[in-house]
A = this chain, B = another copy of it.
Protein backbone atom coordinates (compact mmCIF):
# COMPACT_ATOMS: atom_id res chain seq x y z
CA UNK A 1 0.00 0.00 0.00
CA UNK A 2 1.39 3.37 -1.03
CA UNK A 3 1.34 6.37 1.29
CA UNK A 4 -0.61 9.28 -0.19
CA UNK A 5 1.17 12.57 0.40
CA UNK A 6 -1.32 15.44 0.55
CA UNK A 7 -0.11 19.04 0.16
CA UNK A 8 -1.77 22.36 0.96
CA UNK A 9 -2.60 22.79 -2.75
CA UNK A 10 -3.94 19.25 -3.25
CA UNK A 11 -7.46 19.00 -4.65
CA UNK A 12 -9.69 17.30 -2.01
CA UNK A 13 -11.91 15.62 -4.62
CA UNK A 14 -8.96 14.12 -6.50
CA UNK A 15 -7.39 13.04 -3.22
CA UNK A 16 -10.72 11.49 -2.18
CA UNK A 17 -10.69 9.45 -5.39
CA UNK A 18 -7.18 8.22 -4.62
CA UNK A 19 -8.26 7.30 -1.08
CA UNK A 20 -11.32 5.39 -2.35
CA UNK A 21 -9.17 3.51 -4.91
CA UNK A 22 -6.58 2.60 -2.31
CA UNK A 23 -9.29 1.31 0.04
CA UNK A 24 -10.87 -0.76 -2.74
CA UNK A 25 -7.54 -2.21 -3.89
CA UNK A 26 -5.61 -2.68 -0.65
CA UNK A 27 -8.35 -2.47 2.03
CA UNK A 28 -7.03 0.76 3.49
CA UNK A 29 -5.38 4.08 2.68
CA UNK A 30 -2.50 5.85 4.38
CA UNK A 31 -2.15 9.63 4.14
CA UNK A 32 0.83 11.69 5.27
CA UNK A 33 0.66 15.46 5.63
CA UNK A 34 2.80 18.33 6.93
CA UNK A 35 1.26 21.64 7.96
CA UNK A 36 -2.21 22.88 8.89
CA UNK A 37 -3.40 23.53 5.32
CA UNK A 38 -2.36 20.05 4.20
CA UNK A 39 -4.09 18.52 7.24
CA UNK A 40 -7.23 20.45 6.31
CA UNK A 41 -7.12 19.21 2.70
CA UNK A 42 -6.60 15.64 3.89
CA UNK A 43 -9.55 15.79 6.31
CA UNK A 44 -11.78 17.24 3.58
CA UNK A 45 -10.63 14.47 1.23
CA UNK A 46 -11.44 11.77 3.81
CA UNK A 47 -14.92 13.25 4.36
CA UNK A 48 -15.51 13.28 0.58
CA UNK A 49 -14.09 9.75 0.17
CA UNK A 50 -16.63 8.48 2.72
CA UNK A 51 -19.33 9.57 0.29
CA UNK A 52 -17.57 7.89 -2.65
CA UNK A 53 -17.54 4.45 -1.01
CA UNK A 54 -20.74 4.70 1.06
CA UNK A 55 -22.84 3.56 -1.93
CA UNK A 56 -21.07 0.20 -1.85
CA UNK A 57 -21.84 -0.20 1.85
CA UNK A 58 -18.37 0.77 3.04
CA UNK A 59 -18.16 3.00 6.12
CA UNK A 60 -14.75 4.68 6.32
CA UNK A 61 -13.12 5.91 9.50
CA UNK A 62 -9.68 7.41 10.09
CA UNK A 63 -7.03 7.12 12.79
CA UNK A 64 -4.68 10.12 13.06
CA UNK A 65 -1.19 9.77 14.53
CA UNK A 66 2.09 11.65 14.67
CA UNK A 67 5.13 10.50 12.74
CA UNK A 68 8.66 11.88 12.40
CA UNK A 69 10.00 12.23 8.88
CA UNK A 70 13.38 13.27 7.54
CA UNK A 71 13.28 16.12 5.03
CA UNK A 72 15.64 15.37 2.13
CA UNK A 73 16.64 18.97 1.44
CA UNK A 74 17.82 19.58 5.00
CA UNK A 75 18.93 17.39 7.87
CA UNK A 76 16.02 18.61 9.99
CA UNK A 77 13.40 16.12 11.08
CA UNK A 78 9.75 17.15 10.85
CA UNK A 79 6.65 15.94 12.63
CA UNK A 80 4.06 14.89 10.10
CA UNK A 81 0.52 13.70 10.70
CA UNK A 82 -0.47 10.30 9.35
CA UNK A 83 -4.04 9.23 8.72
CA UNK A 84 -4.86 5.55 8.49
CA UNK A 85 -8.16 5.34 6.59
CA UNK A 86 -9.96 2.01 6.95
CA UNK A 87 -13.44 0.60 6.39
CA UNK A 88 -15.48 -0.60 9.36
CA UNK A 89 -15.89 -4.31 8.69
CA UNK A 90 -19.39 -5.02 9.99
CA UNK A 91 -19.09 -8.68 9.01
CA UNK A 92 -16.67 -9.03 11.91
CA UNK A 93 -19.26 -7.73 14.31
CA UNK A 94 -22.26 -9.36 15.96
CA UNK A 95 -24.43 -6.55 14.59
CA UNK A 96 -23.92 -7.98 11.08
CA UNK A 97 -26.05 -6.63 8.25
CA UNK A 98 -26.04 -7.85 4.65
CA UNK A 99 -24.49 -5.28 2.29
CA UNK A 100 -27.16 -3.58 0.18
CA UNK A 101 -25.64 -4.93 -3.01
CA UNK A 102 -26.54 -8.46 -1.89
CA UNK A 103 -30.17 -7.74 -1.03
CA UNK A 104 -32.51 -9.07 -3.72
CA UNK A 105 -34.62 -6.22 -5.12
CA UNK A 106 -38.13 -7.26 -6.13
CA UNK A 107 -39.46 -5.44 -9.16
Contacts and interface: CB of A to CB of B under 8 A. Distances in A.
Contacts of A46: 64
Interface in A34-78: 35-37, 39-40, 43-44, 46-47, 50, 60-66
Q: What number of copies of this chain does the assembly contain?
A: 2
Interface residues of A, number: 22
A44 B81 contact: yes
B40 A36 contact: yes
A83 to B, nearest CB: 8
A95 interface: yes
Contacts of A60: 63
The 4 closest A-B pairs by CB, nearest first: A36-B40, A61-B61, A47-B64, A39-B40
